[in-house]
């Protein structure tokens, strides 16, 4: 791992050197930020371009010159908003940090080493209700940490289980903080806060704070943000297009390795998704899946999304009308609690191979995606809110998290 890190740092250094010696030209930017008006979701998703956010039907995307040309050839109106590297430079003017750390001013965010230290500390301070292990390793060999929080934590009790996953997408660092906040809240407040105590006593809470540690570390290597989304296997796989339910079925991912929504060579070709899926599969005890509720945290757009993503049908296959209604009503209740906008995942744009579709399609787990703060932003900037936002934006989801924990104990429709 140490060797890998040195290599990454060296590569980032070379990139910076290269950027410094090539003068800016009139060429379109290598990665440009564009806005596209309503009605284009399907064609944009099909093209495999990187959708940063959606607001009132307007998409903000990152596209290469070739992608821009092909979308314009289809008649879409792409309005340039900025150049990715310029936007990132403006986000961090002269705020270099030590290699491997967040840019100066954003030290409130946790690097992988800091996440690891926080989790070890929680397990040490609250060993009665906290156990730290891992579901496996990332492509570059980092442990994919798993925290279990419950009374009698060493035993597998007959209690409803709930899973929280964060940071499938590398640059969505605020989500890692969300999972850390969940860990801290349900450990520090156990025995003090009656709501927390009741859930810890009656549920088994699992948290995976970073599903994509390689990508997250790469995103901050070199002391400035890279705007990186995928994992670090080859040119990178979009982990949230690599899950095995209707993988690659429906034009909601890309088969091109360079694309930001590259689905990988096969379902679960990424070691990160495979490890998390194997863990979830392992929670089938006596023929019954123990995990009944799940939230996967992303940023940004302030949305609560429910399955399916691969079809615009409100009631997809493997789902009764009552079950579809339950996904919707729990999603709407959580959105009322945190002020996000609720909708079925495919109302945004069609995705295939995403985590919610697999959680429901394979295991009938009540599974949601939260797209966190901000509601919108000027392109890539939305991924990098100042660290002052960590506390308010993670606490903002406490009530919604509690709703999911409550629902996880309800009888299944």
Query: Which residues of this protein are in contact with Zn ion, per CB under 5 A?
Result: 169, 298
Q: How far is the CB of 241 from Zn ion (least distance, A)?
A: 11
Among 240, 193, 198, CA closest to 215: 240
Residue whose token pair is 């440009």: 32
Q: How far is the CB of 388 from Zn ion (least distance, A)?
A: 22
Residue closer to Zn ion, measured from CB, 330 or 348? 348
Question: Which residue in the list 159, 217, 371, 407 is annotated as catalytic?
Answer: 371
Q: How far is the CB of 402 from Zn ion (least distance, A)?
A: 23
DSSP letters of 170-226?
TT-HHHHHHHHHHHHHHHHTTTTSHHHHHHHHH-EEEEES-S-HHHHHHHHTTSS--
Q: How far is the CB of 172 from Zn ion (least distance, A)?
A: 5
Residue closer to Zn ion, measured from CB, 169 or 241? 169
Residue closer to Zn ion, measured from CB, 172 or 204? 172
Among 310, 237, 234, 309, CA closest to 272: 237
Residue closer to Zn ion, measured from CB, 91 or 229? 229
DSSP letters of 266-335?
STT-SHHHHHHHHHHHHTEETTEE-EEEEEEEEESS-EEEES-SS---SS-TT--HHHHHHHHHHHHHHH
Residue closer to Zn ion, measured from CB, 275 or 305? 305
What is the spatial distance between Cα 161 and Cα 196, in angstroms, rounded to a whole number?
Answer: 15
3-state secondary structure at position 86 = helix
Task: Measure Cα distances from 88 to 65, 66, 95 in Å.
Answer: 19, 22, 11
Catalytic, 371? Answer yes
Q: How far is the CB of 298 from Zn ion (least distance, A)?
A: 3
Six token digits for residue 380:
């890539």
Q: How far is the CB of 371 from Zn ion (least distance, A)?
A: 7
Q: Are 262 and 236 in contact (CB under 8 A)?
A: yes
Residue closer to Zn ion, measured from CB, 173 or 185? 173
Q: What are phi and psi of 346, to 5 degrees?
A: -75, -10
Positions annotated as catalytic residues are 371
């Amino acid at each position: 791992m140490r060797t890998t890190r040195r290599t990454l740092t060296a590569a980032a250094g070379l990139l910076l050197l290269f950027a410094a010696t090539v003068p800016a030209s009139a060429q379109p930017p290598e990665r440009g930020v564009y806005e596209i008006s309503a009605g284009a979701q399907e064609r944009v998703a099909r093209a495999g371009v990187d959708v940063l956010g959606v607001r009132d039907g307007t998409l903000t995307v990152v596209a290469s010159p070739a992608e821009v040309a092909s979308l314009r050839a289809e008649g879409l109106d792409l309005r340039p908003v900025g150049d990715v590297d310029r936007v990132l430079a403006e986000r961090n003017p002269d705020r270099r940090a030590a290699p491997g750390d967040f840019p100066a001013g954003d030290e409130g965010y946790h690097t992988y080493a800091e996440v690891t230290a926080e989790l070890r500390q929680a397990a040490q301070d609250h060993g009665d209700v906290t156990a730290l292990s891992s579901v496996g390793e990332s492509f570059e060999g980092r442990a994919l940490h798993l925290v279990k929080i419950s009374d009698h934590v060493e035993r597998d009790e007959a209690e409803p289980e709930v899973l929280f996953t964060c940071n499938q997408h590398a640059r969505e660092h605020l989500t890692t903080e969300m999972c850390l906040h969940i860990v801290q809240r349900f450990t520090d407040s156990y025995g003090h806060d009656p709501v927390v105590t009741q859930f810890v006593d009656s549920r088994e809470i699992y948290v995976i704070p970073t599903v994509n540690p390689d990508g997250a570390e790469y995103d901050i290597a070199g002391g400035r943000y890279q705007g990186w989304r995928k994992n670090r296997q080859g040119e990178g796989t979009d982990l949230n297009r690599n899950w095995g339910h209707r993988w690659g079925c429906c034009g909601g991912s890309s088969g091109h390795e360079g694309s930001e929504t590259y689905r990988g060579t096969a379902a679960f070709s990424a070691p990160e998704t495979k490890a998390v899926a194997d863990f979830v599969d392992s929670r089938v005890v006596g023929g019954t899946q123990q995990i009944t509720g799940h939230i996967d945290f992303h940023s940004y757009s302030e949305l609560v999304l429910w399955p399916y993503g691969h079809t615009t049908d409100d009631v997809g296959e493997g789902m009764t009308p009552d079950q579809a209604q339950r996904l919707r009503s729990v999603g709407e209740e959580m959105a009322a609690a945190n002020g996000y906008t609720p909708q079925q995942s495919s109302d945004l744009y069609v995705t295939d191979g995403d985590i919610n579709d697999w959680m429901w399609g394979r295991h009938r787990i009540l599974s949601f995606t939260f797209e966190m703060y901000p509601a919108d932003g000027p392109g890539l900037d939305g991924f990098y809110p100042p660290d002052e936002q960590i506390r308010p934006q993670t606490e903002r989801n406490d009530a919604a998290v509690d709703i999911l924990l409550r629902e996880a104990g309800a009888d299944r429709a």
